[in-house]
Amino acid sequence: MKGWFQRLSTQNKLASIHNLHDVERLARRKLPRPIFGYIDHVAEDGRTQRANLSAFDEYHFCPKRLLTLRKLICTLSCMANATPCLSVSLPWGSARFRLTRGDLVLARAAAKRNLPMIMSGSSLVPMEEVAKVEGADWFQAYLPGTPEGIEALLARIQRAGFKKLVVTLDYPVPPNPDNLRRSGFSSPLEPSLRLAFDGLMRPGWLCNTFLRTLWKHGMPHFENNHAARGAPVISREAARDFSGRRHFDWGYLDLVRRLWPDTLIVKGVLNPDDAVRAQQAGVDGIILSNHGARQLDCTISPLQVLPEIKRRVSDIPIMIDSGFRRGTDVIKALALGADFVFVGRPFNYAAACAGQAGVEHVADLLQREVERNMALLGLTSLSQLDRTCLYQPTAGEVPQSKNISG
Ligand SMILES: Cc1cc2nc3c(=O)[nH]c(=O)nc-3n(C[C@H](O)[C@H](O)[C@H](O)COP(=O)(O)O)c2cc1C
C-alpha cells in the first residue's frame, strides 16, 4: 500500500514537470527554505548568473529548411554519448533530498540513462559505495592542503575504482555566504528556532528524509574530502574540510598529474591562459565552469570564453557547465565547439522531489528538447553542428552557407 501510494505521488510530481524550470519551482515548494536556498544559491548580486543566461541570448539560430530529416534517428542514438549529462552531485544536495542516499540516486539514474555522473568529493556517501554502481567512474576532488594528503586521497579514489578524476580549481576559498545566511543555511548547520520552523513547515521532508536518514544511517559525515572520513555535517569542524587551499599553485596540478595514472580533468577554468597551462600540465580534458554562478560575482560566462579556448586548446575535450536549462542552450554550446555539456541543479532538484524517477525524467526532457530543436534546425546529426548554425547579432556576423545533405 505504501509503495503504491509512493509511486502515485511520484507520478503526480513527474506529470507537473514539463521542463527544467518546472523542477526548480517544485523544489522551491517541497524543500525547507535553507535547503532550497543552498542549492539555489548564487554569489552576491547574481551578476554572474545573469551573465550565464545572457550569454545564451547572444546567439541566435539560423535554421535550414527542407532538408530531409529521414536520418534523425541516428542523432537520437548517438546522443546518449554526446549530449546532456549529469554534473557533480552535490554535498549538501544529498543531505537535502535523501540525505546520505542522494549520490546513489543520481548515480543509478545516470547509469540507467547511460550518462556520466561526477561524484562530488564533498558528498555524504562513502565513495566506495557509489563506485559500485555500474558506470560510476567519475570522481571530483577538492584537493587536501598537503602533498601527503593529496597522495593519500588519490590512492583511495583509485582503490575505490574511479577512472576519471576531476579536480575543481575554482574554490580556493568559500564564497561570500551572505545569501546563504539570508535563506537560513549555514555550514555547519546551526540549530535554531528558525531552522526548526523551516523544517516543520515541510513535514514530508522532515520525516521522510531528515529523520529517516538519521534513524537508518546516523549523522551524515563528509566522507570523501580526505583519505579518512571527515567531520559530521552538523559540527563546528565541518568548515575545516573546505579550508587550507590558499597556497595552491600549478605545481600542485603537476603533482596530481604525476600521481594519477588515469584520466585527469580540471574543472572551473575560464581564462584561456589557464586552459593552455592545464593542457601543458598534461590534463586529458577541461570543464569550463563558473561553478553555476556560486563563487565569484561578475564572472564571465563559460559560453563566452568557449570559442577562444577552443581556438587555443586543441586535441583534448572541452566540456562546459553553468546555467544550461534548455535543449537550445546545449545545442549552442555544441555548435561553438563544446564536446560535452553538464547540468547541475536541475538533477539535484529532481532527485530531491522525485528520486531516481525524477532524475531520469529530467534527463529525458532535456534530451527530447535537444532532439526536437535539432529537427527544427534542419540537422540530423550532432556532428553537423558548428558556427554556421549560429548568428551572433552583436558581432554583426552573417551566417556562412554550408552544404548539408539530407
Ligand atoms: C548545491 C551545489 C553544490 C555544488 N557542489 C560542488 C562540488 O562539491 N564540487 C564541484 O566541483 N562543483 C560543485 N557545484 C557546482 C556544480 O558542479 C556545477 O558546476 C554547477 O552546478 C553547474 O551549474 P548549474 O547548476 O547552473 O547547471 C555545486 C553546485 C551546487 C548547486
Supply the pLDDT for residue 398. 58
Ligand 1 nearest atom to the CA of residue 122, by list position: 8
Q: What integer is the mean pLDDT of 105-110?
A: 90
Dihedral over alpha carbons 279, 283, 286, 292 (to 10 degrees): -120
Give the pLDDT band of residue 188 (cuts 50, 70, 90): low
**Residue 356 has what DSSP assignment?**
H
Supply the pLDDT for residue 230. 82
Pick one of 3.30.365.10, 3.20.20.70, 2.60.120.260, 3.40.50.620 as the CATH number of 2-391.
Answer: 3.20.20.70
Supply the pLDDT for residue 66. 72
Condensed to tens digits (0 to 9), the pLDDT of residues 289-301 reads: 999 999 999 999 9
Residue 72 has pLDDT above 80, yes or no: no
Q: What are residue 84's DSSP bridge partners?
A: 341
DSSP per position, 320-335? E-SS--SHHHHHHHHH
Supply the pLDDT for residue 170. 94
- The pTM (predicted TM-score) of the whole model is 0.90
Q: Which residues contact 13 (CB under 8 A, 6 or more apart)?
A: 26, 353, 354, 358
> Any idea what the Cα angle at residue 303 is, between residues 255 and 349, rounded to 5°?
85
Ligand 1 nearest atom to the CA of residue 118, by list position: 17
Condensed to tens digits (0 to 9), the pLDDT of residues 264-312 reads: 999 999 999 999 999 999 999 999 999 999 999 999 999 999 999 999 9
Catalytic residue among 41, 221, 226, 291: 291
Ligand 1 nearest atom to the CA of residue 120, by list position: 8
Domain residue limits, the chain: 2-391
Decide whether any atom of ligand 1 lies within 6 Å of the 90 Cβ. Answer: yes
Dihedral over alpha carbons 301, 303, 304, 305 (to 10 degrees): 100
Cis peptide bond upstream of 188, omega within 30: yes
| Ligand 1 binding pocket mutation candidate from 38, 41, 92, 120 (most atoms within 8 A of CB) | 120
CA of 403 to the centre of ligand 1 (A): 39
Give the pLDDT band of residue 393 (cuts 50, 70, 90): confident
Supply the pLDDT for residue 80. 40
CA distance 169 to 369: 31
Residue 363 has pLDDT above 50, yes or no: yes
